[in-house]
Amino acid sequence: MEWTLVLTDTAAPVIELRNIHKSYADLEVIKGVDVTARKGDVIVLIGSSGSGKSTLLRCVNLLETAQQGDIVISGEPVKWKNPGPDRVPGDKDQVRRFRTNLSMVFQQFNLWSHLTILENVIEAPVTVLGTERSIAREQGQRLLDKVGIGDKSDRYPALLSGGQQQRAAIARALAMEPAAMLFDEPTSALDPETEAEVVNVIKDLAAEGRTMILVTHDMKMARDVASHVIFLHQGVIEEQGSPDEVFGNTKSTRLQQFLSSTH
């Protein structure tokens, strides 16, 4: 008798969104979206402005509240109260814990201007995680080296280029040792030269097997780093699949139009 070994992934997804709906008054911007990110997945959200990409990303770490649907982080569902349009997270401690575990990198760098780059990186590990300051400084310096600005650790944000500031913001996100990283248009405020610096860092993180959900306008980066691409159109998933499927074997007319407009 021959035996066949079947390997199954029993670990809960790092992030799971089920039937997410989000409205602002009478305007429904997310209309029943499902997304699953397992450990090591790089999910890239693409679509035109107003398609709901950034709103969906902000729903993941509860910066925006979805009025319907489930958000599950590492197998633990968000606890809600006040169902319907008045729904809000029901457990503040859970929200803080989830946000600690889901580091977000924004379009604007959001660095503290009165702190050096190294101080920006270590602030949250020291105050939120309780990491000893000397240990946090060592770890922070290693992360700044990792993103290529270790020699700028004692500089203040205003003295750095946009690309350097964004790399510092990525180092700050990494310092929390998150289960997943969320990127909201991390290169859209940068010129082409500094954009390339940040793209290379993100590529390195993807190659390391970090779990990420990324909103971007950069189709080349999406193709290079994604394990799964989702095209959002008017709040719904119009098409999704591997980069080869989405970019090389496009089925949706809307996606074809969108891709042709980005060239």
Evaluate if residue 6 carries a pLDDT over 50. no
User: What is the pLDDT at residue 10?
Assistant: 59
Evaluate if residue 2 carries a pLDDT over 50. no
Strands (E), 74-158: 76-77, 80-81, 88-89, 102-105
Evaluate if residue 3 carries a pLDDT over 80. no
User: What is the pLDDT at residue 144?
Assistant: 97
**7: its two tokens:** 């390997």
Contact 143, 174 (CB under 8 A): yes
Residues 26-33: what's their mean pLDDT? 94
User: What is the pLDDT at residue 8?
Assistant: 43
Q: Tokens 């159109």: give the residue.
A: 233
Dump pLDDT digits (tens) for 203-254. Answer: 999 999 999 999 999 999 999 999 999 999 999 999 999 999 999 999 999 9
Contact 250, 67 (CB under 8 A): no
Contact 52, 30 (CB under 8 A): yes
Would you place residue 202 in the very low, low, confident or very high pLDDT band (cuts 50, 70, 90)? very high
Dump pLDDT digits (tens) for 71-105. Answer: 999 999 999 999 888 899 999 999 999 999 999 99
Q: 9 exposed, middle or buried (CB, 10 Å; 0-12, 13-18, 19+)?
A: exposed
User: What is the pLDDT at residue 74?
Assistant: 95
Evaluate if residue 4 carries a pLDDT over 70. no
User: What is the pLDDT at residue 93?
Assistant: 95
Predicted TM-score (pTM) of the model is 0.91
Q: What fold is seen in the domain 50-226? A: Rossmann fold (3.40.50)
Evaluate if residue 47 carries a pLDDT over 90. yes
Q: In whole numbers, what is the pLDDT of the chain averaged over residues?
A: 92
User: What is the pLDDT at residue 142?
Assistant: 97
Would you place residue 1 in the very low, low, confident or very high pLDDT band (cuts 50, 70, 90)? very low
Angle between helices 162-174 and 133-146 (to 10 degrees): 130
**27: its two tokens:** 């305007």
Strand order in the sheet with 76-77: 27-37, 15-24, 68-73, 76-77
* Distance, CA of 82 to CA of 41 (rounded, Å): 33
Instruction: Residue 186: count other Cβ atoms within 10 Å of its Cβ.
Output: 27
Residues 127-153: what's their mean pLDDT? 96
Contact 16, 186 (CB under 8 A): no
**94: its two tokens:** 């859970």
Which candidate, 190, 252, 236, 244, places its Cα nearest to that of 216?
190
Contact 173, 167 (CB under 8 A): no
Which candidate, 228, 240, 258, places its Cα nearest to that of 42?
228
Contact 236, 33 (CB under 8 A): yes
User: What is the pLDDT at residue 192?
Assistant: 86
